[in-house]
Structure 1
Amino acid sequence: MWRNIASNFLSVAVVLMVVAAGVLAWSQRQYVGEGPLGQAICFKVPSGAKLWQVAEGLEEKGAVTSAYIFKVGADYEGRASGLKAGSYLIQPGDSMQEIVAIVAGSGRSTCGTEINYRIGVASSDIVVRELDAVANRYVEKVKFDPAQEAAPQDYVEIAEDADTRIRVTLAEGVTSWQVVEALKRAEFLTGAAGEVPDEGYLKPDSYEIKRGSDRADLLAEMESRQRAAIDRLWAERADDLPYDTPEEALVMASIVEKETGVPEERPVVASVFVNRLRQGMRLQTDPTVIYGLTEGKGVLGRGIRQSELRKETPYNTYVIEGLPPTPIANPGEDSIHAALNPAQTDYLFFVADGTGGHVFAETLDEHNRNVAKWRAIEAQKGDGG
C-alpha cells in the first residue's frame, strides 16, 4: 500500500511541476509579449506610489492583462524600487516589460502638461502645451509674453498643479543680459539671479526644472553645460586656426551665430572670418557694432548709422583689428563647432541673397556685384514688389 501511495504522490508532484512550469512559461510570455492597449494613454505615477498601486492602475487602464504578473516581473528584474513619479506615454501594444522600463526608467515625463519658457533674441514667451496621447502631438493651451502682459488665469491654474512639468529653453544667439532679465520674470523660480554671467558662457539648450528652483542654480547649470561643450569641441578643433584659446574661439562662434541662422552656412561664414584674420583684414561685421551700441541689452531696432560705423569702440570691427574683446551672444554648439572647424574656402565676403541665406565671394568685384543684386531686391521690396 505504501508503495502505491508513494507512487501516487510522485505522480502528483510531477504533474504539479509540469503545471507550474507551464504557468511560469505562460506568465513570462504575458510579461514580454504584446500588451492589450488599443490606443495610447498618458499614465501618471504619483509621487510616493507603490508598485502594486501602479500595477493596479495600469490594469484598470487596460494597459496590462495582470497586475500580479506586472508586479512579479518588475520584482524579478530588480526594478520594483525604481519607480519615478511623472506622466508617461504608453503606446498601443507596449508589453509589461516595456512599461516597467518606462515607469522605472529615467524619470523624464513623456506626456502630460508642460510649461516652456522660451527665451528668444527678439522676445520671450511662456507656452503651455498638453500632449494628445492618441494623436501623439502637443496641443497649445496658453501662450503669453511675461514682459508684456500678466499671466492669464488659465496659466495660473495649470502652473499651480504639482504634476505640470516646467522647462526653460534658451534660443541660440541670446545675450546673457537677456537671459537674466527673462529669468527675473519667471514666477516659478526663486532667489536672486545675481550678476550677469560672462557673455557667451550660457548654453542655448532646454532645461527641465522644478517649481521653486533657484535662479542662480539654473544659471550655474547653463554655464556648466556651455563650458563642457566648449572643452569638448576645442579638443576636436582643426589645425592652424588664427586663434589660440577657447575664449577666442567662443568670440568667433558668437559672431557666426549672429551672422546666419542657416545651419549649413555656419562653417562657410566662419571660413570668411578665418580667412580675413589670416590675411590681416578687419572683420567688418555689423553684429559686433550693434553689441557695442546695445551692450547686449536688447535689440537695436534700427539700422546702423554711418557715424556709428566710424566710431572707434572695442566692438567696432570696422575700426579695430582682429576679434572684439568678448563674445557678443551665447552661441550654440553648431556655431562653436563651425568656428573650430571652418569650411575650407577662399571666400572673403558675403551678403544676404534675399532668401534668408547668403551669397559668398572671393574678390571685391564679385562681392560688389552681389551687393548690387541685394540692393535691387531690397528696393523691389520697398516698392511693394
Structure 2
Amino acid sequence: MRSWLALLAAILLAACSGGADRDVTVVVPPGASLKAAANILEKQGAIGSASGFLRHAKIFGSSEPIKPGEYEIKAGMDNGDVLALLQSGRTKQRFVIIPEGTPSVVVADKLMAADFLVGNVAVPAEGSVLPDAYPYTRGEQRSAVLKRMQGAMAKALSKAWADRKPNTVVRSPEEAVILASIVEKETSKASERRTVAGVYSNRVRIGMRLQADPTVIYPVTRGRPLGRRILKSELLADNGYNTYAKSGLPVGPIANPGKASIEAVLNPAPTRALYFVADGTGGHVFADTLEQHNANVQKWYALRRSRGEM
C-alpha cells in the first residue's frame, strides 16, 4: 500500500509541476501532436518535463485537442494551466496600432514593419482605414489585417452616417471622411473637435475657402511630415487638394480620421466662428470676424516671439 501511495504521489507531483520561472513564448505548429507539443514546451523551458506533462494530460486532462498557434506561457503556470491554455486556443495577440489621423502611406509602413505578419500589402485608399489597435496572430497575412481595418471603417462610417444631424454640410459618407480628415489634422484636442468642425462647416456653407494648411501639404508628401515651411508656389497650386486655391472640399481625404472626427463633422458644434488660430497651449482660439481673428493672430505671434520661435 505504501509503495502504491508513494508512486501515486510521485506521479501527481510530476504531473502538476510546472517548469517556467519566467514568461516563455512557444509556437505550436499546425498538426502538432500533444507529444510533439510537450517536447517543444520542454525545450523552451515552459514545462519541467515532457513526460510529466503527458502524464498529467492522460490522468487529468480533458479530451479537447490542442490548437496550433503562438502561446505566452506565464511564469508559475503548472502543467494543468499550460494544457488548458493550449486547448483553449487563446494565442498570444500582437497589435498594429493606427493612431487617429495616420495617412495611408504610414498605415502600409506599419503593416510591413509588424513582426511575424506575412505577405505584402499595397498602400490602401486614403480614408479607408479606421484608426485603432488591431490584434493579429503570428503568421497572419498582412492583407487580412488590412481588410479588418477597412471593414471597421466601413462599419463605423455607416453607423455615424445613419446618426448624422441636420446641421451637417456634408452630402455623403465620402464627404464626411474628407472633412473629418481635415478636422483630424487641425486639432488633437477632443474638447474642441466639434468646434473646428463647426468652423469648417460654416465656411463650406457660405462658399468660403477652407484654407487648411494640411490640404496644401498632402499632395507634396502624401501625409508624411513636410519638414519645412510651406512654399508660396504650394499655396497657389491648384491640384484638387489645396483649399487655399479653391473653395469647397478637396477631392479626397488627407488622412484616416477616427470615429470622433467623423462624428464631429456629422454633428458640428453650433458656432458662428469662421476663424481659429493656435493659442500656445495645444488648442485654438476662435473668432467670428476677421478683425477678431487678426488680433488673435498678433497675440499668437507675440507669444512665439517671446519663446524665441520667430
TM bucket (normalised to shorter chain) is 0.7 to 0.9
Alignment pair present for 1:363 and 2:289: yes
1: distance between equivalents of 2:237 and 2:26? 61
Q: Which amino acid aligns with 1:192?
A: N
Which residue of 2 is the match for residue 334 of structure 1? 260
For residue 158 of structure 2, the aligned residue among 206, 210, 231 is 231
Secondary structure of the residue that 2:286 maps to in structure 1? Answer: strand
Aligned partner of 1:139 in structure 2 is none
The residue correspondences of 1:73-112 to structure 2 (distance < 5 A) are 107=90, 109=92
> Corresponding residue for 2:276?
350
Asked if 2 retains the 8 angstrom alpha-carbon contact of 1:84 and 1:105, the reply is no
| Alpha-carbon distance in 1 for matches of 2:66, 2:118 | 30
Distance 1:103 1:217, change over 3 A: closer
**Partner residue of 1:162?**
none
Specify the alignment match of 1:8 in structure 2: none
In structure 2, the residue matched to 1:174 is: 102
Q: What is the DSSP-based 3-state SS (H/G/I as helix, E as strand, rest coil) of the residue aligned with 1:327?
A: coil
Greater C-alpha radius of gyration: 1
Relative to structure 1, the CA distance from residue 334 to residue 102 in structure 2 (aligned partners, 3 Å threshold; closer, same or farther) is farther
C-alpha distance in structure 2 between counterparts of 1:180 and 1:46, whole Å: 27
**How is 1:193-272 mapped onto 2 (pairs within 5 angstroms)?**
193-194=121-122, 196-272=123-199
Q: Are the counterparts in 1 of residues 182 and 214 from structure 2 also a CA contact under 8 Å? A: yes
Tell me the TM-score normalized by structure 2.
0.73
Asked if the contact 1:44/1:85 (under 8 Å) is kept, the reply is no
Query: Is the Cα contact below 8 Å between 1:84 and 1:104 reproduced in 2?
Result: no
Q: Distance in 1 between matches of 2:151 and 2:247?
A: 31
Q: Residues 346-372 of structure 1: CA distance to partner in whole angstroms, max 9, x if unpaired?
A: 111111000111111111111111111
Corresponding pairs, count: 281
Does the CA-based 8 Å contact 2:240-2:250 persist in structure 1? yes
Find the aligned partners of 1:367 and 1:337 in 2 and give their Cα distance: 27
**1:227 Cα deviation after fit:** 1.2
TM-score computed with the length of structure 1 as normaliser: 0.59
Runs of 4+ in 1 over 6 A off after TM superposition: 41-46, 80-86, 100-106
Q: Retained in 2: the 8 A contact 1:176–1:329? A: yes
Looking at structure 2, the residues matched to 171 and 211 of structure 1 have their Cα atoms a distance apart, in angstroms, of 22
Task: State the alpha-carbon separation in 2 of the partners of residues 258 and 349 from structure 1.
Answer: 16
Q: Describe how 1:285-364 pairs up with structure 2 within 5 A.
A: 285-292=212-219, 294-296=220-222, 298-364=224-290
**SS of the residue 2:177 aligns to:** helix
Higher helix share: 2
For residues 130 and 175 of structure 2, the distance between their equivalents in structure 1, rounded to whole angstroms, comes to 17
Give the unaligned 5+ runs of structure 1.
Answer: 1-40, 54-59, 61-67, 91-99, 111-164
Identity %: 43
2:264 pairs with 1:281: no
Instruction: Flag the structure with more relative contact order, 1 or 2, with Cα contacts below 8 A and sequence separation at least 6.
Output: 2
- Indicate the larger mover: 296-305 or 277-286: 296-305
Change (3 A) 1:101 1:213: closer
Change in CA separation of 1:229 and 1:298 when aligned onto 2, cut-off 3 Å: same
Q: Compute the displacement of 1:188 (Å).
A: 2.6
Which segments of 5 or more consecutive residues in structure 2 lack a partner in the other structure?
1-21, 39-47, 49-55, 75-82
Q: 1:367 to 1:45 in 2, by over 3 A?
A: same
Q: 1:288 and 1:337 mapped to 2: Cα distance?
A: 20
CA drift at 1:84:
9.2
| CA contact 1:84–1:107 (8 Å) conserved in 2 | no
Deviation at 1:250, TM superposition (A): 0.3
Q: 1:102 to 1:188 in 2, by over 3 A?
A: closer
Q: CA RMSD in A?
A: 4.1
- Shift of the 84–269 alpha-carbon distance from structure 1 to 2, 3 Å rule, reads farther
